Amino acid sequence: MSFSSDAKAELIRLPLERDCCVLAELSALTQTTGSLGFQGGGRFSVSWQVENAALARRIFRMLKERLGLSPSLHFVQHARLGGRRTCVLTVEGDDAPKLLTALRMMEPDEHGAPVLKRTLPRPQITRQCCRRAYLRGAFLGAGSVTNPDRGYHLEIAARDEGLLELAEKLLAQHDLPARHHLRRGVPVIYLKGGQEIADALALMGASGALMKLENIRITRQMRGAANRASNCDEHNTERQLSAAQQQVEAVKLIAIHRGLFTLPPALRQMAELRLSHPDASLEELGALAEPPIGKSGVNGRMRRLNAAAQEVARELTEAQRPTNANP
């Protein structure tokens, strides 16, 4: 499985959230994978077509458990697409107006009878809790993320520009500025940069994918830091700042791959202090230690933490080599 499909599988397994969030996620999934059918006599149907059976089950549960609807599910085998199977979920009959009203595609007229206003949902995401759910739905329906071994790129591609505009706005509210382009006529918004993609995965709730991405980022940063350390100038403030950042990354690397519990108590305490006080000077960290120690004591412990992290980074690099040789 690719990094992208792993991340999606993880999001699909998340429990359904509050009703407002389920509706936000369902709106995005409908904007990306749904279509409205006209059945004559003012009757409608809504269908979702997805290749991922687990995603179809998630949509099914939303409709059934949260909206009390009875969707039908069938499979279409595509002879021309190498026998690929698509899951088709359909809501029709009396259920359709209920669904369309919930998705704000239908609104009651002056007599209270539902009237079709739009052919796609136009959700208004006002609550903070629903932002992540909406972005998750958009990503599940029309998104992908590149394997971080090959580069940092997360995108959502959709013909529905309303979806992209809203997704972009919600990302911006989390300080994640999306860029745009057109790919074969289809608008795409995307994020670049390891930190942005890590934040977006965290926002959507993909903690396993986030961890995997962070491991790769930390290993890269450690390699970079080791190269820079060979020609460093100790009295440069910027460099002192990056030394603190490097210590934080070193501690994270040990925490993720070995666990801080594997460290001797004195080192473990210093590791935890560095994580909880990333900007503190060595003197300040020493004063926070129990019992307090001087700057040179802190410095010695930091060197041992760095050495342990370098060892972890080396192990990771070696472990990754066969995978990279055979993509």
Q: Contact between 19 and Zn ion (CB under 5 A)?
A: no
Name which of 37, 18, 25 is nearest 103 in CA terms.
Answer: 25
Rounded CA separation 282/35 (Å)? 60
Residues 286, 292, 293: CA angle, nearest 5 degrees: 60
Name the pairing type of β-strands 43-50 and 34-40.
antiparallel
Smallest separation (angstroms) from Zn ion to the CB of 63: 17
Stretch that binds Zn ion, among 25-33, 66-74, 89-97, 127-135 (CB under 5 A): 127-135
> Could you tell me which stretch among 17-25, 31-39, 62-70, 269-277 binds Zn ion (CB under 5 A)?
17-25
Omega before 97 cis (within 30°)? no
Task: Kindly state the smallest distance separating residue 66's Cβ from Zn ion, in Å.
Answer: 12
128 binds Zn ion (CB under 5 A): no
Q: Is 64 in the site for Zn ion (CB under 5 A)?
A: no
Q: Considering beta carbons, is residue 121 or 286 the nearer one to Zn ion?
A: 121
Applying CB under 5 A, which of residues 129, 229, 241, 319 lies at the interface with Zn ion? 129
**Minimum CB distance to Zn ion, residue 198 (Å):** 23
Q: Do the Cβ atoms of 162 and 173 come closer than 8 Å? A: no
Nearest distance in Å: CB 137, Zn ion: 12
Binding of Zn ion by 179 (CB under 5 A): no
* Binding status of residue 127 toward Zn ion by CB under 5 A: yes
Helices (H) and strands (E) counted in the chain, each on its own, are 12, 10
Cα(314)–Cα(4) distance, integer angstroms: 26
Cα dihedral 204/206/210/212 (nearest 10): -160
Q: What angle do CA 165, 126, 5 make, to 5 degrees?
A: 55
Where would I find the H helices in 192-236? 194-204, 207-229
User: Which position among 2, 5, 13, 20 is part of the footprint of Zn ion (CB under 5 A)?
Assistant: 20
Please say which residue, 138 or 302, places its beta carbon nearer to Zn ion.
138
Among 21, 125, 213, 308, binds Zn ion (CB under 5 A): 21
Element (H, E) at 10: helix 3-13
In the complex, what is the shortest distance from the CB of residue 130 to Zn ion, in angstroms, rounded to a whole number? 4
Listed ranges 34-42, 44-52, 129-137, 138-146: which one lies at the site for Zn ion (CB under 5 A): 129-137
Output the smallest distance, CB 27 to Zn ion, in A: 11
CB of 19 to Zn ion, least distance (A): 8
C-beta closer to Zn ion: residue 21 or 167: 21
Q: Contact at 8 Å (CB) between 57 and 43?
A: no
Site residues (vs Zn ion, CB under 5 A): 18, 20-21, 127, 129-130
